[in-house]
Amino acid sequence: MSELEQGPVGGDIVPRTATEVRVLTESGRVRYVSVIAQLVAAGWALRGLSQRVRGTYDYIQECSESVDRLADQAAALGVDTDTVSEHREAAAVMRGVLDDAEAMAAAAEDLATLFAEASAAHEADYGSVQEAANTMDVDMANRAFYGNR
């Protein structure tokens, strides 16, 4: 398997835990292609999260409207006021979380954009170095020789 197909611990490109990140960095496997792939994958994951949050937002909005309609129907049928009030309160709670859900979706989109910008910046900083290393006529020296830390 290539470096892009298998992560340091499991089969994932992007490490999911601090232990996986530590194994990745201690093993010296943080490479240009890995970093770019991880940043892109993280951006995609965050965009997907944002879409799922917005989908859930729409569902909750529809549910709150449905519960409001049920409360109106119950009131019109003369159902006791406590039951009608409970329905209205449930709908209000649903609407109350919508602002938080939208803020969460927007934050995930912002993070996705930042990951894309970080990927582009990393590519701009190190892409030419990677290209030069890939096209050299001689073998690369030991990786430690090139380390900048």
> Could you report the per-residue pLDDT of 109-136, keeping only the tens digit for each?
999 999 889 888 888 877 777 777 778 8
Give the sign of the dihedral formed by CA 84, CA 90, CA 94, CA 97. Answer: positive
Q: What is the percent of the chain where pLDDT is above 70? A: 76
What tens digit of pLDDT does each residue of 49-102 get? 999 999 999 999 999 999 999 999 999 999 999 999 999 999 999 999 988 888
- Tell me the chain's radius of gyration from C-alpha atoms: 25
Domain spans of the chain? 46-124
Q: What is the pLDDT of residue 38?
A: 84
Its pTM stands at 0.56
